[in-house]
Each structure stands twice: as C-alpha cells, then as structure tokens.
Amino acid sequence: MVPLSYYLILSGILFACGVLGFLIKRNIITIFMSIELMLNGVNLSFVAFAAHWHALSGQVFVFFVMVVAAAETAVGLAIIIAVYRTRETLNVDQVNLLKL
Amino acid sequence: MTPSLHLWLIPILPIIGAAINGFVGRRLTREASASVALLFCGSAFAAALVIAARFSTLSLPHVEYLAHWIRAGSFQADFAFYLDQLSLVMLLVVTGVGFLIHIYAVGYMWDDPGFYRFFCYLNLFMFFMLTLVLASNYLLMFIGWEGVGLASYLLIGFWFTKDSAASAGKKAFIVNRIGDFGFLIALFLMIKHFGSLNFADVFPSVSGMGVESAGAGLLTSIGLLLMVGAAGKSAQLPLYVWLPDAMEGPTPVSALIHAATMVTAGVYMVSRSHVIFERAPMALMVVAVIGTLTALFAATIGIAQTDIKKVLAYSTVSQLGYMFMACGVAAFSAAIFHLMTHAFFKGLLFLGAGSVIHALGGEQDMRRMGGLRREIPWTFWTMTFATIAIAGIPPFAGFFSKDEILWRASRVSLVYWGLGVFTAFLTSFYMFRLWFLTFFGDYRGTNTSAEHGAAQDAHGHEDHGHAVHESPKIMLVPLMILAVLSLVGGWVGVPASLGGGDHFDKFLAPVFHSTNPTAEAQGGAPEASTEVPETGASRNQELIFTGISVSAAGLGLLLAWLLYYRRPDLPQEIARGLGRLYGAVANKYYVDELYAALFVTPLVDGSTRILWHGVDQNVIDASVNDAADGARHVSDTVRHMQSGNIRSYAGWVAVGAAVNIAYMVWMGVR
Amino acid sequence: MLHLSLFLIFGAVAVAGAINLLVQRHPINSALSLIAVMAALAAEYLLLGAEFVAAVQVIVYAGAVMVLFVFVIMLLNAGEEEHTKGSRVAIILGVPGMLVGSLLVAWTLVRQSGTSELEIGALPGAPSTIGWLLFHDFLLPFEVTSILVLIAIMGAVVLASKPEQTSEPRKEA
C-alpha cells in the first residue's frame, strides 16, 4: 500500500531532474532527452492519479502523450540534424543567431 | 406700437463692407474697394439721418429686439438695440464724422499697398462702434467695446512691418484689456445683484435704490469698476499710456479712433450708466478727480512735445479729462456736448495734421516745419478754425462746451474750476504753439518749397519728391466740412446766460433727468437744475467765470505768439533755464519708463524665468523628454533578455513558472 | 509491503538513471540512462495495473524513440560535451527558480493527498478496455493524433533530407 503522494513525489523528482538537465547541459541532444525525462515524469503522475480516481482516461491520456512525444522527437531530431549541417556544432550556446 | 426702424441695419451695413473688402478686396481695383467702403459707411450715415428725421415720432426709449442670444437659467441677454436721445447724438457723431474721415482716408491712403485691408478694418471698426452705441444691454455693449479695441489694435499696427507700430498696437490692446478687466467685474456684480444686464432691467432697479453714503457699497463698487474700464478705453490716468504711442497708425485712424469715436466710448458708457453714478457719490468724485488730473497732466506734457501728432494725442487725453470732469460733477449732457464738439475740432486737427504731413512727404517733427501757410492755404485755414475752437474762444464750438463744463464744475468745487481754467490756458498755449510752429515763421525743413498755392488741387502723387504741395480735393472737402462744424457746432448749446436757448441740454434732458434721486450729497443741484433759477447773482457769476476762461485762452494765445513768433529764441533759453524740470516734462514724466520698470520688466522676466524656463522647459518638456528617455532606457535594459541563448530562456521560464506556482499556492492557502 | 518495496526499488532505479543523465558528459551515456529510467517507469506502471501503458512505454518510448535518439547521436558523431561559457541567467536564476517551484509543488501535494493509499494493481488497464475507450470516447483525439503523426513524418523527412542542389550558381555581376 503505497500512498499516492509517494508516486507524486517520484514524478516530481523526475520532472525536476529534467528541468535541471535542460538548464545545465550544453549538448542539444542531451537537452532534448531532458525534455523526454520531463514528459515521463508527468506520465507517471497521470497514471497514479488515474489509479487514485479510478478513471481510465488517465491512462488513455498517457497514451496520447506518448504519441505526441514520439512525433515531437521525430521532428525535433530532424531539426537538430539540419542545424548540425549548417552550424557544424551541437553546442546550444553557439546557436544564438536570434538575438538583438 | 412703434414700427420697427430696423436699427440692426446700422451696424450691419459696415460689416458687410468689411467682409467684402476683407475677402475679395485684394482682387478689386482701388476705386472699387474705396467705393465699397464709402457706400456702406455712407448708407449707415444715411440711415442715421433718416432716424433723426423721424425722431420726434418715436416713443422713447425705443428698443428693438433682433434675435435671441443667451438664455441661461434666469440670465438673459439678447441682440437688442436701444435708441434714445443720447444714442442718437452718438450715432450721428460716429456715422457722420466717420463718413467724412472715410472720404479723407481714400485720398490719404491711396498709395498704400494695404488699401483694401485698411478699409476692411475701418468698416469693421464702424460696426463695433455702432454696436457699442446702440446696444440695449451691457453685454452687447461689451462686445462692441472689445471689438473697437481689436479694431484699434489692427489699425494702429497697420504698418506691422515696422517694429514700433506693432509694439504700439500691442500696447494699446493690452492696456485696454486691463481696463476691460474692471469693466467685466462690474458686469459680474451687476449680474449677481440685478440678475440681468439689460438697461431696461438694471436702471429701474438702481433707481429704486437710495443714494449710497460715501464709502464702499454695491453701486460705488460698480461705478469705480466701470470707471476703470473707461479709464482704459478713454486713456485716463493711469491707463493713458497707449494713446500717444497709437500715433504710429495712419493719421485717419488717429482722427477717427483716437479723437472722435473710440476714446469717447468711455464717456458714453459712464453717461449711459449715470443712474448708477448719481447714487454713488464717492465714485462720482473719483471720476471727477481722475478727469481733472488727467486734463492737467496731459496738457503739461503737451507743451513740450515736438511731434505734431503727439501734441494732438496728449491734447485728446486732456480733453477727455474734461469730459470725465463733467461726468464727475453729474453734468452728463455737458460731457456729451463736449464729446460732440471735440469730435469736430479734434477730428479736423488730426486730418489737417495729416494733410500737413502729406504735404511735407512724411515729416512729422514741428521743428522742421514753418511758414507753411502760404504753401497749403486750405489746410492752414481749416486748422486755424480748429485751433481756435479747441482753445475755447467764442463763437467757435469749443468755447460753449468747455465753458459749460467749467461752469458746472465750479458749482461743485472751485478747485475743479481753477484747475480746469489753468488747463484751458495750457491748451490754448500748446495749440497755438503748434499753429505758429507749423504755419508761421521761416521754413526749417528740407523739402523744396517751390510750388506756391497754385498746387491747390493739382496733384501729382507720382512726383512726391520734395515739393511741398496741397492735398487733393478728396482730402480737403472733409476738412472744410469739419471746419464749418467747428464753427457752428457749438451753437446748439448756447447757455441761457449768454442769451441762447440751451437746446442741446434740453434735448438730452429726458435721458439724464428721468431717474434723479431726490437727495443729492454732491453739489446741491444735479441735472434737474440746468435751468438754474436765473437769479441775477448766479447769472453774473456765470458771466464772470466765462470771461475768466476766455481770457485764459487769450493769455495762452499771447504767450504762444510771444514765444514762437516774436522771440523764437526764447523757448530754448527757458528750457535751458528750467533744466531738469523741462527734461521731465519733455520725457513725459518718465511714466512709460516707470511702468516698464514696475510692471513690464518684472512680468517679462518672471515669465521668462519661471514660466518659460522653469515650467515649460524644465517641467513640461522635461517630463515628456524624460518619459521618452525612460522608455528608451527601460527597453535598452530589457532587450538584453533576448540573447538568443536557449538556456537563458529556459532559466527565465523556470523563474516565471516558480512565481506562478507560488502565486497559485498562495491563493489556495488563503 | 511488497508493493512498497517494489515501488522503492524501481523508483530508486529511475532516480539514479535521471541523475546519471545529468552527470554524464557523453550524450550516449545519457541516452542509455534514459532508457533505464523508462524501463523502471514501465515497471511502476505495472505496479499500478496499467498493463497496456507499460507495454506501450517499453515498445514505443524505450524501443522506438530512444533508439532514434541513439541513431542520431551516432549519426552526428556527437562527442563529449565541451566546456563553453554558459548562460549565467540559467544557472543563477533558473536553478533556484526550479527548486523553489518544485518545493512548493511538493509541499502542496503532500498536504493535499493526505493518506490516500493505492493498492497494487489498483486500476487494471487491459488493452481491451483501453481500446474500447480509444475508439468510443476518445475517437476524435485518436484520429487527430494520427494525422499529427503523419505530419510529423513528412516534416521530419523534409527537414532532415539533404538540401537539393539548385541550378548552377548565378554569375556575379
């Protein structure tokens, strides 16, 4: 019998790690993976709540999140490849043309 | 029911002329422009004559309502016109003398490029003056009052490219406005206490009030404030300073506005408000004192002036002082009588001076004139008539009116009479001084005096050159008409003591007698006793006083003859002997300098330093500039946020999210 | 007891993987840690009875998405991370901000959830039931996401393809 809050705290920790990775890491791909980590954390909390409220739509929503994450990954990685082609670097600090 | 006289036509005709000349005058020929101006002014005069002819059939006062104007709560003021004997006299003087001056001006201004503009302004002036004279409530009168001030500004500064002319126009308008402020406060008091500004409402209400004892009461306040307005408009102490400067304008302007009509508006207004003044003895006394002092003061300045028009300007101020002296002793009809005769001879004097100036090609300094009576005989003779009239020598017009004033003043206080006689002596002196300096002696100027009297009406404007020549007929005819009037104009008011019928006074009697208070604190006999019980004693006294004033005039003539004809070297010696005193008089007692130091300079300085630099630049401009600068600085700082660096964006997002969450938690916790 | 210990074991693996993702310098190591995290999460889902979701997690997420990640890392030959000057804002503002935010959330969660407990296999999510929901209550989102995936495919193909050679370069005037 695990209290709901334990699941939520675990989800929170995963999400926080994702944000931290986004802020700290310099490689574009690693940043992208941090985003995936965030999404996973959120998925966990969805499933936990679905179990708590006995509502299956929580799990369905996780399904949709995964679909969208997959699509997003595909497109995002394609963009990263295009950026790599022009900039020859994967360092996010050097992709800063859009500045004032 | 009296049929309508269409009084509204009289002011409207000139404004139509003004509109035509103002809008299309530039495209008209000189002849057309002049004809328009003369036509509309002349038709106003004709209308006035028609009214005069039908006058005896009217029931007076005759009020005509034209249109609805202001209805605000219980206050009502309409476009309505008021006709009684006083209005008729003013009407005839304004339109008659105005018409003559229009004719003269056609000749005088013929070569001026701003011809049509001049006549537009002149007609505009006639419109406002006639509105002032015919108004049946103080508010409409005030419109005319302000309007003549405006026309005066426009006409004084007619040659606005000249700095001195533009400044003179400004000075006239500003000093006038100071007087108008007093007038306005008086109007406000009237509205507050009588609820209306119509003559038909105010005067009966005032008649119902008793005489105020000396001291501040409602009527005294109104009277004093009205006098402030009159002092501004009619150039009395201390607001007379604009009139001498107004000589910058063309001479017909000086004749019309600053001699015959506009400056007399103050006298008219005070006379119209006589019911108020008769019940406020203190105000009345102030009026008399101001008038007497102004008359004396201006006359003393006049004796030392060298510009022919300035002498006449100070003379005007002085004669206006006489009129106010008359008002101040409740001799209103005498004041109006003098107003009328003054319009004749002062208008003539100015027009004649214009003729002299014109003949000399622009010279105005009397020290460079002389001996002109042979060159310009018509001008000479007409100006002689006017000079004798103003000096008060019988049987010319000025004698009767001035004498009437002096006699009535003596009934109240011999001080007024004494000062008035002394001023008459000075008047005669400086006027004959002008006469001698201009027309007698040797010619001291630079123009060639080749042409003799043959150049009477031969007129080559093109070869103005340096030949002294007589003015064209169009300028001479008005001079002649006014000369005749200066002679016979006084004969309508010959007093009973000299065997006359005192017609003028009797004519105006219904206006000034109708509301006489029974108790009179000032000088036992108000208007009602113009028909002084002709006791032998008072008649003799009147004759004696008359004799004294005539001899004063004669003395002035004698002194002028002595100093400026017989021994022309004397004046210099006297001036040197008097030294500083003469200097003070010649410099107009430094009044302009005093005003400049007391009022003008502090105002201008204060305005520059406090209002311009302090408020406008440092506060208003600064706040606008600082707002712009501030916006720029803020945006300068904020733009660094857009660094193009994704991680910093993420940082900001995290912070924002934290703030958001904190807010929601806080709301949830509350 | 069993539930709690299983939860803790798999939770520990997930957290360790997440931290490892942060710590590793080479992206491939981070990718592999992420796979470990996802596997652990799949186990957590199973503990709650979400069978279908757990299966999809492993098949799609760990099996397809992460493989794509690894492919790209290998394609781009990503090396170890360089040490370039980062963004000061991110470190100074972002990290504290994130910490504050998550602490607040945690605090709220703990307060609100109280003592509600979940049993093992609390809500069984069999494929048939999920399928039923998908095709009845959630039909529209289902179809829309399929279009979304189609668009993503097309976008990815276009973005990642080599730029075509345009006609010969224009001569400079």
C99 lies in some domain: no
Chain A contact for C157, CB < 8 A?
A: yes
Choose among A60, A64, A9, A42: nearest CA to C50.
A60
From chain C, the residues in CB contact with A33 under 8 A are 21, 27, 30-31, 34, 69
Nearest to B651 among C87, C105, C107 (CB): C87
Whether C52 shows a pLDDT value over 50: the answer reads yes
Contact B658 C98 (CB under 8 A): yes
Query: Cα(B74)–Cα(B571) distance, rounded to whole angstroms?
Result: 65
Residue B471: which residues within 8 A CB-CB, separation 6 or more?
Answer: B107, B355, B358, B359, B376, B378, B379, B459
Please give the pLDDT value at position B458.
38
CB neighbours of residue B619 within 10 Å: 11
Choose among A8, A61, A38, A15: nearest CA to C50.
A61
Q: What integer is the mean pLDDT of B4-24? A: 85
Q: What b/e readout covers C79-114, taking b as 16+ CB neighbours within 10 angstroms?
A: eebeeeebbebbeebbbebbebbbebbbebbeeebe
C43 lies in some domain: yes
Chain C contact for A87, CB < 8 A?
A: no
From chain C, the residues in CB contact with B668 under 8 A are 108
Is residue B561 classed exposed, middle or buried when 0-12, 13-18 and 19+ CB atoms within 10 A define those classes? middle
Please give the pLDDT value at position A100.
58
Asked if residue C131 and residue C67 are part of one domain, the reply reads no
Contact A25 C81 (CB under 8 A): yes
Contact B658 C100 (CB under 8 A): yes
- Residues constituting chain B: 670
From chain B, the residues in CB contact with C92 under 8 A are 651
Whether B545 shows a pLDDT value over 90: the answer reads no
Q: What b/e readout covers C140-168, taking b as 16+ CB neighbours within 10 angstroms?
A: ebbeebeebeeebeeebeebbeeeeeeee
CA distance B651 to chain A (A): 7
| Tens of pLDDT, residues B212-257 | 665 567 888 888 999 999 998 888 888 888 888 888 889 999 898 8
Q: Return the residue of B nearest to A23 by Cα.
A: B647
Contact C87 B657 (CB under 8 A): no
From chain A, the residues in CB contact with C84 under 8 A are 26, 91, 93-94
Contact C65 A23 (CB under 8 A): no
Asked if residue C61 and residue C3 are part of one domain, the reply reads yes
CA distance C119 to chain B (A): 29
Query: Cα(B358)–Cα(B352) distance, rounded to whole angstroms?
Result: 10
Give partners of B (≥3 CB pairs < 8 A). Answer: A, C
Please give the pLDDT value at position B488.
84
| Contact indicator for B132, B144 with CB cutoff of 8 Å | yes
Q: Return the residue of C nearest to A59 by Cα.
A: C53
Tell me, what DSSP letter sits at residue C149?
Answer: H
Give me chain B's average pLDDT, please: 83
Give partners of A (≥3 CB pairs < 8 A). Answer: B, C
Residue C155: which residues within 8 A CB-CB, separation 6 or more?
Answer: A74, A75, A78
Nearest to C41 among A6, A13, A40 (CB): A40
Please give the pLDDT value at position B528.
40
Strand partners for A27: A91
Whether C150 shows a pLDDT value over 90: the answer reads yes
Residue B586: which residues within 8 A CB-CB, separation 6 or more?
Answer: B304, B305, B575
Out of B8-17, B65-74, C79-88, C135-144, which region has the weakest mean confidence (pLDDT)? C79-88
Q: In this prediction, what percent of chain C has a pLDDT beyond 90?
A: 49
- Residues constituting chain C: 173
Q: What tokens were used for C159?
A: 């973005």
Confidence class for position A92, pLDDT limits 50, 70, 90: confident
Nearest to C90 among B651, B662, B668 (CB): B651
Strands B75-83 and B62-72: antiparallel
Whether B529 shows a pLDDT value over 50: the answer reads no
Out of B167-181, B360-374, B457-471, which region has the weakest mean confidence (pLDDT)? B457-471
Asked if residue C68 and residue C14 are part of one domain, the reply reads yes
Query: Cα(B563)–Cα(B573) distance, rounded to whole angstroms?
Result: 11
| Three-class secondary structure assignment of B543-610 | HHHHHHHHHHHHHHHHHHHHHHHHCCCHHHHHHHHHCHHHHHHHCHHHHHHHHHHHHHHHHHHHHHHH
Question: Mutation test of the interface with chain B: which of A15, A17, A20, A22, choosing the one with the most B Cβ atoms within 10 A?
Answer: A22
CA distances for B577 relative to B430, B562, B653, C24, angstroms: 19, 17, 98, 116
C88 lies in some domain: no
Q: What integer is the mean pLDDT of A33-52? A: 93
Asked if residue C67 and residue C139 are part of one domain, the reply reads no
Assign residue C63 the CATH number of its domain.
1.20.120.1200
Chain B contact for C95, CB < 8 A?
A: yes
CA distance B631 to chain C (A): 24
| Contact indicator for B225, B189 with CB cutoff of 8 Å | yes
Please give the pLDDT value at position B596.
80
Please give the pLDDT value at position C156.
92
Q: In this prediction, what percent of chain A has a pLDDT beyond 90?
A: 53
| Tens of pLDDT, residues B286-336 | 999 999 999 999 998 888 888 899 999 999 999 999 999 999 998 888 899
| Contact indicator for B109, B461 with CB cutoff of 8 Å | no
Please give the pLDDT value at position B466.
53
Contact C94 B661 (CB under 8 A): no
Tell me, what DSSP letter sits at residue A93?
Answer: G
Domains and CATH numbers, chain A: 4-94 (1.10.287.3510)
Total domain count, chain C: 2
Contact B662 C95 (CB under 8 A): no
Please give the pLDDT value at position A32.
93
Please give the pLDDT value at position A69.
95
From chain A, the residues in CB contact with C81 under 8 A are 25-27, 30, 91
| Tens of pLDDT, residues B577-632 | 777 777 777 777 888 888 888 888 888 888 888 888 888 888 888 889 999 999 99
C89 lies in some domain: no
State the DSSP H helix or E strand holding residue B90, giving kind and residue range, or none if neither.
helix B85-108
Residue labelled with tokens 């017609």: B503
Asked if residue C133 and residue C71 are part of one domain, the reply reads no
Please give the pLDDT value at position C136.
92
Most confident segment among A30-44, B545-559, B637-651: A30-44
Asked if residue C141 and residue C71 are part of one domain, the reply reads no
From chain C, the residues in CB contact with A31 under 8 A are none
Q: What integer is the mean pLDDT of C99-113? A: 82
Please give the pLDDT value at position B517.
47
Please give the pLDDT value at position C117.
79
Nearest to A56 among C81, C102, C133 (CB): C133
Question: Mutation test of the interface with chain B: which of C81, C84, C89, choosing the one with the most B Cβ atoms within 10 A?
Answer: C89
CA contacts within 13 A on the Cβ side of C147: 5
Confidence class for position A18, pLDDT limits 50, 70, 90: very high
Contact B639 A100 (CB under 8 A): yes
Please give the pLDDT value at position B575.
76
| Three-class secondary structure assignment of B620-664 | HHHHHHHHHHHHHHHHHHHHHHCCCCHHHHHHHHHHHHHHHHHHH
Whether B527 shows a pLDDT value over 70: the answer reads no
Query: Cα(B160)–Cα(B169) distance, rounded to whole angstroms?
Result: 9
Chain B contact for C106, CB < 8 A?
A: no
| Tens of pLDDT, residues B163-203 | 889 989 999 999 999 999 999 999 999 988 888 888 888 88
Query: Cα(A52)–Cα(A41) distance, rounded to whole angstroms?
Result: 17
Tell me, what DSSP letter sits at residue B8?
Answer: T
Chain A contact for C57, CB < 8 A?
A: yes
**CA of residue C84 relative to chain centroid, distance:** 27
Dihedral angle computed from the Cα positions of residues B170, B174, B175 and B180, in that order, rounded to the nearest 10 degrees: 140
What's the complex ipTM? 0.90
Confidence class for position B501, pLDDT limits 50, 70, 90: low
Choose among B646, B477, B107, B207: nearest CA to C87.
B646
Chain C contact for A34, CB < 8 A?
A: yes
| Tens of pLDDT, residues B31-66 | 888 888 888 889 999 998 988 888 877 777 788 888
Q: What tokens were used for B196?
A: 């209306």
State the DSSP H helix or E strand holding residue C15, giving kind and residue range, or none if neither.
helix C2-23
Asked if residue C144 and residue C73 are part of one domain, the reply reads no
The SS3 assignment for B136 reads coil
Q: What tokens were used for A51?
A: 């179990």
Asked if residue C71 and residue C3 are part of one domain, the reply reads yes
Whether B452 shows a pLDDT value over 60: the answer reads no
Please give the pLDDT value at position B306.
86
CA distance B633 to chain C (A): 21
Please give the pLDDT value at position B27.
84
C49 lies in some domain: yes
Asked if residue C76 and residue C20 are part of one domain, the reply reads yes
CB neighbours of residue B577 within 10 Å: 9
Chain B contact for A86, CB < 8 A?
A: no
Contact C30 A33 (CB under 8 A): yes
DSSP string, B223-260: HHHHHHHHHHHTT-TTS-THHHHGGGS-HHHHHIIIII
Give me chain A's average pLDDT, please: 89
Please give the pLDDT value at position C164.
73
Contact B647 A22 (CB under 8 A): yes
Contact B654 C97 (CB under 8 A): yes
| Tens of pLDDT, residues B154-166 | 999 999 888 889 9
Chain B contact for A96, CB < 8 A?
A: yes
Asked if residue C134 and residue C65 are part of one domain, the reply reads no
Contact A92 B642 (CB under 8 A): no
Tell me, what DSSP letter sits at residue C48?
Answer: T
C22 lies in some domain: yes
Q: What integer is the mean pLDDT of C50-77? A: 92
Domain of C55 in residue numbering reads as 1-80+118-125
Query: Cα(B147)–Cα(B145) distance, rounded to whole angstroms?
Result: 5
Q: What are the backbone dihedrals phi and psi of residue B360, each rounded to the nearest 5 degrees, phi first?
A: -90, 5
| Tens of pLDDT, residues B562-583 | 888 777 777 777 777 777 777 7
CA distances for B61 relative to B68, B159, B206, B333, angstroms: 20, 42, 17, 17
What is the rounded end-to-end Cα distance, in angstroms, of chain C?
82
pTM score, whole prediction: 0.70
From chain A, the residues in CB contact with B642 under 8 A are 98-100
Tell me, what DSSP letter sits at residue B60?
Answer: S
DSSP string, B408-471: HHHHH-HHHHHHHHHHHHHHHHHHHHHHHHHHSS---SSSB----GGGSS---STT-TTB--PP
Query: Cα(B143)–Cα(B136) distance, rounded to whole angstroms?
Result: 12
- The number of C-beta contacts closer than 8 angstroms across B and C is 56
Q: What integer is the mean pLDDT of B110-127? A: 89
Q: In this prediction, what percent of chain C has a pLDDT beyond 70?
A: 87
Whether C113 shows a pLDDT value over 70: the answer reads no
Query: Could you say which residues from 20 to 59 on chain A have a Cβ atom under 8 Å away from some Cβ of chain B?
Result: 22-23, 26, 31
State the DSSP H helix or E strand holding residue B71, giving kind and residue range, or none if neither.
strand B62-72
- The number of C-beta contacts closer than 8 angstroms across A and C is 243
Query: Cα(B81)–Cα(B2) distance, rounded to whole angstroms?
Result: 14
From chain A, the residues in CB contact with B654 under 8 A are 19, 23
The SS3 assignment for B534 reads coil
Cis peptide before B238 (omega within 30 of 0): yes
Q: In this prediction, what percent of chain B has a pLDDT beyond 70?
A: 91
Confidence class for position B641, pLDDT limits 50, 70, 90: confident
Confidence class for position C84, pLDDT limits 50, 70, 90: low
Tell me, what DSSP letter sits at residue B208?
Answer: T
Confidence class for position B455, pLDDT limits 50, 70, 90: very low
Choose among B96, B87, B120, B94: nearest CA to B17.
B120
C111 lies in some domain: no
Whether B461 shows a pLDDT value over 50: the answer reads no
The SS3 assignment for C118 reads strand
| Residue that wins the pLDDT comparison between B96 and C87 | B96
From chain B, the residues in CB contact with A26 under 8 A are 647
Question: Mutation test of the interface with chain C: which of B637, B641, B647, choosing the one with the most C Cβ atoms within 10 A?
Answer: B647
From chain C, the residues in CB contact with A43 under 8 A are 41, 53, 57
Give partners of C (≥3 CB pairs < 8 A). Answer: A, B
Choose among B114, B360, B130: nearest CA to B250.
B114
Choose among B333, B298, B336, B300: nearest CA to B319.
B298
Contact C101 B657 (CB under 8 A): yes
Strands C117-118 and A2-3: antiparallel
Query: Cα(B94)–Cα(B106) distance, rounded to whole angstroms?
Result: 18
Whether B2 shows a pLDDT value over 70: the answer reads no
Chain B contact for C9, CB < 8 A?
A: no
Contact A99 B644 (CB under 8 A): yes
